[in-house]
């Protein structure tokens, strides 16, 4: 039974509130969980003390027995100093894709042809 530390959504429409829970990886996002170990309120400012509440002892316990945190929870654990999160690097993400490169190439050739004719 693989166990995950993940977020479970609560709150109302357009007013999210998340619980940090330990759950079986096959259970639904907002469904059954083993234990609730914290909460996250994304509506509060990032420097607010109540934005992320976490029971550090229980988080350490679940990490020690092999529970895998999701990426968002791993960010919280990294900020708390309980786990290390490696920064992702995708240098090709901001580069234009194939169609845009073709459009830009066509635009430069049109501009190059239009200048000598004028």
> 88 pLDDT band (50/70/90 cuts)?
confident
Residue 11 Ramachandran class (φ > 0 left, ψ -120 to 50 alpha, else beta): left
pLDDT at 94 over 90: no
Mean pLDDT check: name the lowest of 34-48, 65-79, 84-98: 84-98
Give the domain extent around 66. Answer: 3-80
pLDDT, tens digit, for every residue of 7-40? 999 999 999 999 999 999 999 989 999 999 999 9
Q: Is residue 91 a part of any domain in this protein? A: no
Q: Is residue 19 a part of any domain in this protein? A: yes
pTM over 0.85: no
Number of Cβ atoms within 10 Å of the Cβ of 68: 14
Q: Is residue 28 a part of any domain in this protein? A: yes
The count of structural domains within the chain is: 1
């Amino acid at each position: 039974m693989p166990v995950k530390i993940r977020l479970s959504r609560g709150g109302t429409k357009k007013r999210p509130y998340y619980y940090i829970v330990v759950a079986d990886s096959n259970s639904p996002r907002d469904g059954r969980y083993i234990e609730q170990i914290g909460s996250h309120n994304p509506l509060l400012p990032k420097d607010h003390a109540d934005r992320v509440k976490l029971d550090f002892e229980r988080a350490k316990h679940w990490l020690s027995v092999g529970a895998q945190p999701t990426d968002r929870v791993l960010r919280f654990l990294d900020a708390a100093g309980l786990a290390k999160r490696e920064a992702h690097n995708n240098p090709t993400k901001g580069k234009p894709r194939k169609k845009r490169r073709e459009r830009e190439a066509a635009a430069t050739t049109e501009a190059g042809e239009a200048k000598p004719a004028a």
